[in-house]
Amino acid sequence: MLALADLPIEIVLLVLEHAARASICSDRKWVVQLALVCRTVYERIRPCLYYALVLTSGNTSHFADVELFERILPFVRSVSIFAQYRGLETAQRLLERWNPPSGADAHIDVAWNQARGCLNRLDSATPVKSHVVSSISVRFEMLHCAVLVKGTRMPPSIARHLKRIVGYMPSSGDWGARGEDFQPSSSREWAQALVDELPSLEAIAFRLVDFDGVGLVALDESYIQEAVCAIKAVLERRSCMRVTLLVGGDYLEETQRVEELFSGLRSTGKFEMWFDRRWTAWDHVHLAEIDDAWARRDIWMTPPPPSS
């Protein structure tokens, strides 16, 4: 039987790279130790080691050194920022220096006002780079504001190439939320307008979350039916679209009825619905999002973990 040392160096490096990718979330310390074996190994697994950058209020001090940014940012393809207060300056410095290349298919999960500033900067680059960002998680803003409303929407060049997006559905009665050039009259028109603005979109995930502070008094079934109509409109407009619905908050108290109301969509084979039982308060949503970022949890492929 051949030992690892008997194999050609390129095969050994492939094995080590595969091991690093498989262990980066569950045992990052081991991957770091692996990177210290020698310069050749480090250079091979460096893109895996720095692929995803998660910035929280608890680790901003690790990024105080500007030179550290310069070393790792060329390899970063996924940026998730949850820093608050004192960490905002570090977050801003990071976003100002992050410059993924064309074809990077990068992911950004940042408060929308910060994300939009970063996207506008990437859009203004000369020459304009295509497929720089292909995946966006919209936080602290309604989904249509990030896509459709003049003054808050993403640059057209980003919208044209976007493949995946996550964001909140409007609250009950807000489907007709007005923008200067965005005036849908129903949930169906709201959804159709979103899809039409994102011609390359392959997957969309909606967050259906609400907290009234005292628990769900009565399920607003008319609103749920409007949400069903919105998702139907997406699938009718783009039959190959993959649609995911993440449900949390007060809706967790009526999971069976909510499931029944959306059951007709499951037959399409393109719709998936998950109840995230971690989402029991807005603070818990924030913590769950941090946990998902560290675990590199794919919102379209990996269900949220069960609540403890």
78 pLDDT above the threshold of 90: yes
Of 67-81, 206-220, 244-258, least confident by mean pLDDT is 206-220
Convert the pLDDT of each residue in 208-247 to its tens digit: 998 875 555 578 888 999 999 999 999 999 888 899 999 9
Judge if the upstream peptide bond of residue 74 is cis by omega within 30 degrees of 0.
no
Distance separating alpha carbons of residues 12 and 28, to the nearest angstrom = 20
The predicted structure's pLDDT at residue 276? 93
The predicted structure's pLDDT at residue 197? 93
Distance separating alpha carbons of residues 139 and 146, to the nearest angstrom = 10
177 pLDDT above the threshold of 60: no
Convert the pLDDT of each residue in 117-142 to its tens digit: 999 998 887 676 778 899 999 999 98
178 pLDDT above the threshold of 70: no
Alpha-helical regions (H) of the chain: 9-23, 28-35, 39-49, 66-72, 87-97, 112-123, 143-147, 156-161, 187-197, 221-237, 255-262, 282-294
Residue 14, token pair as written in the block: 């492939």
Residue 127, token pair as written in the block: 């020459």
The predicted structure's pLDDT at residue 164? 95
Residue among 109, 140, 279, 287 at smallest CA distance from 210: 279
Confidence band, pLDDT 50/70/90 cuts, at residue 71: confident
Distance separating alpha carbons of residues 258 and 250, to the nearest angstrom = 11
The predicted structure's pLDDT at residue 261? 92
Share of the chain above pLDDT 90, in %: 40
Q: What is the mean pLDDT of the chain?
A: 86
Cβ 275 vs Cβ 252: under 8 Å: yes
Residue 258, token pair as written in the block: 């909510």
299 pLDDT above the threshold of 80: no
**Cα 7 vs. chain centroid, distance in angstroms?**
39
Convert the pLDDT of each residue in 33-64 to its tens digit: 988 888 888 889 898 899 999 998 888 888 77
